[in-house]
Each structure stands twice: as structure tokens, then as C-alpha cells.
Structure 1
């Protein structure tokens, strides 16, 4: 797609516009990303892109058309390169960029001369193919001034070493959410959260827009949800302005490169909803690069139950003799809230941290000093003791001999009629009586390290009937028993 010659562009009146339209068809089996070059002349103040595509009827059980869109500037489309200027997936039908402003999900900045590329992502293609139409409008004139971004601070006031509540997977209108950052911040405070993490799909465009919403009572960390064709991963608490590319599959053997980028930028690597059923959502990269795993995502559903069981299997592998010494991977939970009625802070991860700072929260998550609760109303204290001075908390280890008697204790509030279960490497070995209507209670169980290599606590709602447990109200990371 070409526009005015250099001479014509130089002579263009301020505010004048040029529009071009391109049509094409993508067949089934198209590449994951198709790049449409746009030759942008000098003197352009704004670029605007609109697109449509057909949605034909398809046979039952067959995916229809879904086409994502984004844009790269004259610096190119190289994987992990500097040319990225924004992505809206399938959430918008048009967008614009200029020096002083851009559509949410896109990065403001000058529209420089050169070959730009509109990135099309055929998420699914119907058997008939996918016909699309792209309209690009250039507006000429002085470019305006790009305002340097301002970011939220990396610390809040905090309470010293304490339990802090957070939601690390949230979406605003800077990707496919429907809430503003201000609305999310207000909902986070109402949910009793101490920290949140910005995690828009495949863009860091929201990062500067959180600066005025942080405060002594709310730490706002910055990140991204990297949405690949083989699963999603949350970059948790990266440096401001960090962009992580998503254009690869597990078979490309490139994820390790971008996991390392997340860590270099000060973030944690957290595979999200690993057993979600949406196309491309199921995690297929393995967990060798994971700092934690999002076991509970939004309202508790069967895929969360599968993720919980899968994570528990990884715990068993971590304590298996001769298992290679792989450290265990802590579990998290987040709301993945997008719009009403999605509840921010349901579930939430409750972290024991030295202070309310980015680094302290991340260190608590990485160490597994955390539990997941359905709301601010639910609190869990979980410990293991074996005698005077022999004590371990969530995420810790009680280093005693194999036959030493150990008392495991869970103290719960805010969970009326829920049941406490203790889960070990053998499975569920103890289930307490339902808690009273007041929702508070203490449950204890005695074991030994030779009988249970670890113990973790689950808090389950009542279930109507049958062998399946009720939905989670909370669960903890494990306490390991015995010497290493």
C-alpha cells in the first residue's frame, strides 16, 4: 500500500488526508501472522487503520473466522525487535497513532517515513477462507510532541513484614477489557487488595496510565500477558515500558529467550490458566522456565480443578528421590477480570512479604510464601510443628527426621460451612468437619515426614452430593516435611 510521493507529501496542506484500501483473502492453513506493508511518506502526523473481515457460516464443530490486528513501524517486524507500535487483537475494528496520542493498546510516537507493516493474525480461518479489507488514512502536518511516560512507583507504604493481598492478572481497555485503569484501581481497593499487576494482551501500552492511580495503599506493578498460539504467560512486575513478544509456538523453541527477557526486566514468569479450553490458551511450553503457575483463574471451574491436580503432580515430582533436584513451582491465583460482572480480586494471592514493594512481593511469590483465597473475607494460617523451636510456615520446610511426629494446623476465618482438607504426596489424607456458620475454626492433624513428604491445605465449599469435592474457597502452597 503506497501513498504520496516525497514531493507531493512535502507539498501536502496541514491536515490534509490520503486514504487507501486493500482487500485480500487468507486461506485455511495461513501463517500465524501476515504482514501488509504500508509505505509511509515524510510529513505524516497521524496514521489511522480500519479493517473488516467476513464471517461466513461454518459446519458444526468447525471454527469460523477470527482475525487479530496490530502494527509495526519502520523499524521492522523482527521478533523481539523495536518496531512494535501496538496490538488490539480482535478487540477493535480501527485504531490510530500520532506523536501525542494513540488508541488504547497502541504506543504514541512520531509517524516516521518508511515501510510500516499492519500485522494480521488469523486466529482461526473458516473452510471458505477469510476475506478482509484494510483502510489506511494518513493525515499530514506537524507531528506534535510526545510526552515522556510517567510510571507508578515500585513501592507503597506497607506494613513491614506482613501478609499482602494481590491480583496479578487483569485487563483494562488497553487490551480486550472494558474497564478503565481508574475503575480497576477502585475495584482493587474495594476488594481489599494491596497490589495489582497490569497484564494486557501483547502490549505494554497501559504502563504509563497507572501512574496517578497508585498510592500508599495500593502498589501497581507492570507487566503483560504474552498470548502465544500455544498458551498464555503473565510477565509479573517487569520494568516499566518492557514489551515481550508473543509471535511463536512451542515447536519454535523460542520461549526460553523471552522468559529470560522477562527476568532480565525484573519480572516473574507465570504460565496462566494452563488448562483453559479456549483455542491457543492451553499451556504447551512446559514449566522449566516458570517462577510460579496460575492454578486458579477467575470463577472456579473444572479446568482449574485439572490445573490444581497437575500442579500437585509437579509437587510430587519435586520430592521424588533422584528427581534431579528441580525446585518446586509455587501456585498462584488471579481473577483475569475483563469486564462486568468479572470480580477483581476473586481469587487473590495472599503473600507474606517483607514490605509492600515490587521486589518483596515477587520474592514472596517466588518462595511460595503464599496462599490463594476467593476474596478478602477468607484468611488462612497454616503451620507445621514438631516440638519447641521446630516450626515451618507456608512455603517452608520442617527439617526433622522421618519418624518425628508432626502436627499440622490450619486456622481459618471467613469460610462458613467450608471444609478443610490436608493434601499430601499420597493425596487427601485428612478432611475436617464443616466449619460453623460463623466461618472460623481450627483444624489439626498429626503425621510424620515418612508418611507425608509435604502437606498443603485446601478449603472447600460444600458440595451437593457425590464423590467430587466442592469448589475451592482457598488453598495454600505446601509445607515440606523432612530433611532434604
Structure 2
């Protein structure tokens, strides 16, 4: 078969009162080895394209980059652009589904598509590389991460805090790095795991090694806010295939997306809820549909310091109402590793901040379970040793404290110590009990003589040794039986700059308020 140009040029000026998906069907007359889509557009603030084959499977994902793009889908993986799903290209009715946002609803778009056999045309985007997460099969089947991805793969062993990042972007959406570049950078920064979260798109493949755990995810990106679905097993429709209505722009629709993701086993995280203009504006969202809240987004981005402080207050409100979300962080990296948002400023880079998650061995499933259990803390480069004791029992962040045995004292006394290396500089521990600051102490040199100090939670055969003395702060509180209490800790510089925060421990939990909405949480901290 010779190359066939299905449509030389479709140029259309769209006028949409509100964003919606617009459909462009095209016919592939006989089975092909490749399909190419070329996209040009003007006036759109954001443009996203999905291409479905005759079986309704999404086979191409394209995010506009304000330049012409030529994207290729091949039967073979090596012929696919990033975002394309390899496999048979059957004859029949295919469809381009285009979603655009603009200031006045006007968008000019030009689409060319062609198909053929033999050597595929060139792609302006990186090619698909690595282990497949999504692949199209014969007779309309589609293998997704649920079956192709190894959810029980073990990349590390031992019970400890594992270091990683839950939020990042590549050239598939609006990032500047290829998957391989981002992967190598994360490994070079000694991260144990990353979760890849493109805007409304899921990677079909990712570079693989035995040391860095990479988990599939997606950042649901709506005009009124963003949320991460971490550990997504199957794709979720974000617009209605019949009407083109954007499910993700409707309050009930966004909650349906969250419900479906949780049913799959994904962790749902509310992203940067106070960072303008990407703050969460779905006021009626029920907070019990989230598992986590991204407290700390890219600390190098202007406005994120203030947004993080508001997110901490909202997190406290959630816990007050029995909605015990995990507090996590995410670099939200889009940049090259030597680039900064401010001239001469620090780079916006993967792993800043890092979320440390306690797990007994590291697998995708154990990582997600660690977040659901809130066994984590978030830090900008300071490693913490945490000692949380009650009744002679040692606890981890996120744990529920237990009372003594029947017939004995049932009140709870909690002893909490935090330690860091002296080389981390002056640090202030701030203790927050039931949402109110209840103690503040500068870390002081430990009485123990200088000695090797092993990073917290690292086993002898896996941990790296840090030379030098330690600094420590301690806090003790007593909780009467039956009163819902929780305590968390923040680490700050003397000038108030946030350095780290630790998820709460709690006792005598109340029932989660199933009706609590984001609007009520937000108003509670106003």
C-alpha cells in the first residue's frame, strides 16, 4: 500500500461558548503500519488531542506546545511518538477528539492526517522508549497498566523511609525533559521512587531499571483545579464521547473521576489547592474522596511558600473533621535541571521537595499503601530521625496510638523527639496539636558524643553514614481518655521558612464527616 493522505488540510475556526471536545472522524480504508497526525493551532491557551481507533481505544495523546507538531502512531513501539499506544492499526472509522481552552472561545486549528505501510514519517516528538505500560491487542483488546505493569515489582528491600516525588511532567505534556532524561535525573538525585503525572495523559511506556521505582499516574487538569491520580490502573474518560462535554469541568464529574480512580486502587491527591491560578475551585467536592493533599508544591515557584502555609491550615481543618488525609509534596517539575523560575535562583528540580514514605520493602503497592496510611514526611533536603513513643511502644507518622491494656491507665502520654544533623543549620521544631501550635523549640546538640549517625530507618546494609553530631528537640503531652487528639510537627528556620513537616499521630479518632466539602474547609481557614 502506498502512503495515503486522508485529508490534506482541515482548517477550522472554532467558536465555543465553553470548552468542549470537538470530533473529527476520518477513515482508514485498510489496515496500516503507521498513522501520522500533524497539528497546528492559534489562539488556544491549552490544546489537547486524543485519537481513537475503530474500537474506541485511545491510541494517540497530543498536548499542544504552541508550535506545529507531527506525531506518529505505529504498529511497532519503535515507530511510535511519545503518548502513542502501539499495536494493530485496523481499517475503519477513526476519530480525532480535540479539547481547547482560549480567552474568548475562539481557536484556529489545522489538522493533517495520513496513513500507510513501510517506513513511517518522522516525528517532532520523542519516540516511545522503555517497558510498555499500554498496548493495543488484536480484536479490539487493550492492555493497560492493570495487566502490563508489574504492581508487585520489588526495587528495594528493608523497612525504612523511601525518598521520592509524586508530581512531575515531561515532553508528553508541558515539561521540557524526555522520560529518559527525567528518569536519569531522579536516579542521580538518589530518589527511590517517582510517580509520573502528565496533564490528562498517561505514558504508554517508560524507561526501566532495577533501582528506581516508577509508578504510572495522571494529573487531572481542569480549568478549576488539578488533582493527581497516583497508581492509575486503567484510563478514565475525561470528556463525554457522545456530546463532547468535559466531565472534568463539572463538579459532579470530577467527583465521579475520583471515585473511579479510588475503585481502581489509585491514591487521589488534591494538588496545590491555593496556588493561583491553578487553585482548587470545585467548592462542592467531598473531601473524603481524596486520600492525600499536596501541601508543598515546587518551593522555588513564586507564591508557593504562601500557598503551602494555607494548605497546612486546610489540612488541619480536614483532620479536625475526621478526614485524615496524608500530607505529601511534589516538585511539579517542568524545567531542565539547570533552569530556574527566577534569575540566579535555585533550580526547579525533581525531588524538591521530597516525600519520605515508610515501607517494608518498596513496591508500587506498598508505596501507595504507605501514603494511605499517612506514614510519611516531606522535606527540602533535611533527613529526620523520628522517635514517637507512647506506653513503651514506638510509632510512625500517621499511626493511631493505642491505650494500655485493659484495667490499666488508659490516658495517653506521648513522647516525641526529632533529630537532624548539626550540618543542617539552626532549626526550630513546631508542634501542632489539634490544629493549634502547642510548643516550639530550637533543636539543640544531643548529649551523646559525636558519632556516626545512620539515616533514619535505613538498615545497616542499605543506609549511608553521615559523619558529625546531632541536634534534637523533644516534646511531651498527655491526652485524656476518649478525647480525639492528633499531633504533627513542622521544622522551620529561625526566620519561619518551612523546611519539613511530618504527618500526624492520633488517638480516639472521630468519624469522618462524609458531607464535608472543599468550600467549607476553605471558609474554615479564611
**TM > 0.5:** yes
Q: 1:338 aligns with which of 298, 319, 334?
A: 334
8 Å contact kept, 2:13–2:108? yes
Aligned to 1:273: 272
* Residue of structure 1 equivalent to 2:248: 249
Render the CA deviation track for 1:361-410: whole Å, top value 9, x for unaligned. 221111111111113xx1223344344x2443311123347865433322
Q: Which residue of 2 aligns with 1:10?
A: none
Q: Which residue of 1 aligns with 2:488?
A: 456
Q: How far has the Cα of 1:343 moved from its partner?
A: 1.0
- The aligned counterpart of 2:132 is 149
Equivalent residues in 2 for 1:51-450, closer than 5 Å: 51-55=39-43, 65-75=44-54, 82-91=56-65, 93-94=68-69, 95-100=71-76, 101-126=79-104, 129-141=105-117, 149=132, 153=150, 154-204=152-202, 206-210=203-207, 213-215=208-210, 217-239=211-233, 242-247=234-239, 248-249=247-248, 251=250, 253-279=252-278, 282=281, 284=283, 285-299=285-299, 300-318=304-322, 327-340=323-336, 341=339, 342-375=348-381, 378-387=382-391, 389-400=392-403, 404-413=412-421, 415-433=424-442, 440-450=470-480
Verify the 8 A CA contact 1:399 1:483 in the aligned structure 2: no
Q: Distance in 2 between matches of 1:162 and 1:279?
A: 34
Distance in 1 (alpha carbons) for counterparts of 2:40 and 2:289: 38
Q: Aligned equivalents of 2:473 and 2:25: distance in 1?
A: 64
SS of equivalent residue, structure 1 residue 306: helix
In structure 1, runs of 5+ residues without a counterpart are 1-12, 56-64, 77-81, 319-326, 464-468
Please tell me whether residue 49 in structure 1 is matched to residue 47 in structure 2: no
TM norm structure 2: 0.73
Instruction: Give 1:311 shift.
Output: 0.9
CA RMSD of aligned residues (A): 3.1
Gaps of 5+ in 2: 121-127, 134-147, 240-246, 340-347, 404-408, 446-467, 511-526
3-state SS of paired residue (2:316): helix
Contact kept, 8 Å, 2:272 with 2:279, in 1: the verdict is no
2-structure distance, mates of 1:131, 1:364 = 44
1:16 & 1:374 partners in 2: Cα distance? 54
Offset at residue 447 of structure 1 (A)? 2.1
Q: What's 2:462 paired with?
A: none
Asked whether the equivalents of residues 230 and 249 of structure 1 are also in contact (C-alpha less than 8 Å), the reply is no
SS at the partner of 2:184? Answer: helix
Aligned residues: 431
Partners of 2:39 and 2:156 in 1: CA distance: 47
Q: TM-score, normalised by structure 1?
A: 0.79
Q: Return the alpha-carbon distance in structure 2 between the equivalents of residues 21 and 209 of structure 1.
A: 33
Cα deviation for residue 70 of structure 1 reads 1.0
